[in-house]
Amino acid sequence: MTMKTLAIHQVDAFTDRLFAGNPAAVVPLEEWLDEATMLAIAAENNLSETAFLVSAGEATWELRWFTPKIEVPLCGHATLATAFVLIEILSTTAETLTFRTRMVGDLTVTRNAGGWFEMRFPRRPENGAGPIEPVAAALGRRPDEVVEFATPGDTSWLAVYADEADVMGLEPDFRAIADLPPLNIVATAPGLSVDFVSRMFAPKAGIDEDPVTGSAHCSLVPYWAGRLGRQEFVARQVSARGGDLRCRLEGDTVVVAGQAVLYMSGKITVPA
């Protein structure tokens, strides 16, 4: 079998220190691999997401994201990791990076004066109330409300709790979560030292609990904007690794900002 070697970088996203935030793998390509190979690489990496990118012109790349089980419509932390690799490792000098995606259109990323990467994502529309009792059974604690946010192929239920301790104390039944209709369930509550906290569970996508989820904030930010009457937020995902985000709502755009650090750069060998 003919083999070829590819570069790979692993980045901890939504953190300024190693071994925190959400690790993502980034694989730059000269041309697309077949989908089965990309999914096999993602499964081998066994991270929440592996991002693959191919140059598409000046300061523009095509970008796709894979969990160990499926290709996903949108991934925030792996987009952040990709922007970090392009600027910090591959010496891209463009002020704005544009990523062409298959399911959510073009995304842009800029690095602000404070060194945070600002990603512009589409706001996920609210789709009414979701059922409380099945979520209570799956998460092990009854939320005050469940709100559904949906785009084609990507439905999320937002389970809202009274305080941060409720979210941190959840003991989810991942099999029960996987049996529910949405792709994922996000638990959230007001934070003690930040505006709101969250945790995200997506066993249906091969991720029992995602450490830090940029895309979840496409639902979280509109929800908290409506509840608090504000447009800018400091947020924290209170998983075991934890991660910090700065967010704001600009009409139909959710701006999610984070930091990142490099853990590893290396090579992988795959079938040619």
What is the number of other CB atoms lying within 10 angstroms of the CB of residue 120? 15
Handedness of CA 36, 38, 44, 48 (dihedral sign): negative
Cβ-Cβ contacts under 8 Å for 165 (sequence gap 6 or more): none
Q: Would residue 10 be called left, alpha or beta, if left means φ above 0 and alpha means ψ between -120 and 50 degrees? A: beta
CA distance 200 to 65: 17
* Residues identified as active-site: 49
Q: What are phi and psi of 27, to 5 degrees?
A: -120, 100
Cβ-Cβ contacts under 8 Å for 91 (sequence gap 6 or more): none
